[in-house]
Amino acid sequence: MRWQGRRGSDNIEDRRASAVPGGRLGIGGVLIVLAVGLIFGFDVTPLLQETGIGVEETAPAQITPADQRAAEFVSVTLADTEEVWREIFATDLGLTYQPPVLVLFKGVTSSPCGGASGATGPFYCPLDRKAYLDTDFFTTLERRMGAGGDFAAAYVVAHEIAHHVQNELGILGQANQVRRQVGQADSNAISVRIELQADCLSGVWARHAEARFGSLEEGDIAEALNAAARIGDDTLQRQAGQPVRPHTFTHGTSDQRQRWFAAGYRSGDVAACDTFGARDL
């Protein structure tokens, strides 16, 4: 992905220099807890506290050259999403796009949707209309999950911004309202449709970014598809040594995530991303 030397976004809230919690958890325990958070999509910081693992405030996180590069990359990618979605909203939807703020942090921070940590992975909070991302997640994505490459990281950013697009269109609020009124299995099924739609919208963004900026290089789409496969619910459960339990899925299988991203990329059309009207996912 060609991103160096291009415009960065002003909608970045950088909390990386804030004091962060530090713990006394061994590396084995950390990996187990991280796996739980990544699979089930919730903040495991309270779990660390309840098990007697000390969580203390330490000195502000050290910003490494890798952190700085990641921040610059995120800023450019965010700027790309702003330009693409502003144009799509105006041209295709007849609407005005209001871009979100993206919060960069290291370790742990807070949000109106709950604690944000490396264990939760990147997420979007509709309550404050902000996306949250620990810059260390890119290292986790590459080294622990096998999804390296700039465009794999861009896909992660684009997916979270796609949740903001859903929020802007009123889709996210309606879907979450229904989720609160149904049982857990049905709520999970709706969550899968939310996430797959965000994957599809990420593909729409990729198609427009390629045309608008010429930023995609050979192999970039393969990187995004590989990342989608690595974070499918079925794959994460297998990697954690658990049986695959479809009724617990909240994001979709690896195959589903790949197919919906590809559908958005092939069409470049928001209308192609109606996962809620799709009979088969």
Largest CA distance in the chain: 54
Instruction: Give the integer Cα–Cα distance in Å for 96 and 117.
Output: 32
pLDDT of residue 140: 77
Number of domains in the chain: 1
Sign of CA dihedral 180, 157, 233, 269: positive
Over 70: is that where the pLDDT of 231 sits? yes
Within-domain flag for 265: yes
Query: Residue 79 falls within a domain, yes or no?
Result: yes
Q: What is the pLDDT of residue 38?
A: 45
Q: Residues of the chain with pLDDT > 70: what percent? A: 83
Q: What is the DSSP letter of 104?
A: E
CB of 120 closer than 8 Å to CB of 34: no
* Residue 133: per-residue pLDDT: 92
Q: Which residues of 204-235 are buried (b: 16+ CB within 10 A; e: fewer)?
A: bbbbbbbeebebbeeebbebbbbbbbbbbbbb
> Domain range spanning residue 66?
12-273
- Mean of the pLDDT values across residues 233-252? 93
Whether the predicted pLDDT of 242 surpasses 50: yes
pLDDT at 67: 79
Q: Which residue, among 97, 99, 98, 103, has the nearest Cα to 74 in the 3D structure?
A: 103
* Element housing 56 (H / E): strand 55-60
Please, which residues have CB within 8 angstroms of residue 202's CB and are 6 or more apart in sequence? 155, 158, 159, 162, 224, 261, 264
Report whether pLDDT(33) > 70: no
239 within a domain of the structure (yes/no): yes
Q: What is the pLDDT of residue 208?
A: 97
102 with 11: CB under 8 angstroms? Answer: yes
- Asked whether residue 18 is assigned to any structural domain, the reply reads yes
Q: What is the pLDDT of residues 122-176, one digit of tens each?
A: 899 999 999 999 888 877 777 777 766 788 899 999 999 999 999 999 999 999 9
Average pLDDT over residues 254-260: 97
Tens digits of per-residue pLDDT, 53-72? 434 444 566 778 877 888 89
pLDDT score of 173: 95
Q: Look at residue 119 in the predicted model and tell me its pLDDT.
A: 66
What pTM did the predictor assign? 0.84
pLDDT exceeds cutoff 50 at 87: yes
Neighbours of 92 (CB within 10 A): 13
Nearest-angstrom CA–CA distance, 16 and 71: 10
Among 59-68, 178-187, 188-197, name the one with the lowest average pLDDT.
59-68
Tell whether 5 is covered by a domain: no
Percent of the chain with pLDDT over 90: 61
For residues 206 and 150, give the distance between their C-alpha atoms in angstroms, rounded to a whole number. 13
Under the banding of pLDDT at 50, 70 and 90, the label for residue 118 is: low
Tell me which of 262 and 31 has the higher pLDDT.
262
| pLDDT tier for residue 22 given thresholds of 50, 70 and 90 | very low
Average pLDDT over all residues of the chain: 84
Residues for the chain: how many in total?
281
Q: What is the 3-state secondary structure (H, E, C) of 203-238?
A: HHHHHHHHHHHCCCCCCHHHHHHHHHHHCCHHHHHH
Residue 6 within any structural domain of the chain: no
Residue 266 lies in a domain: yes
Q: Is residue 198 part of a domain?
A: yes
pLDDT exceeds 90 at position 247 = yes
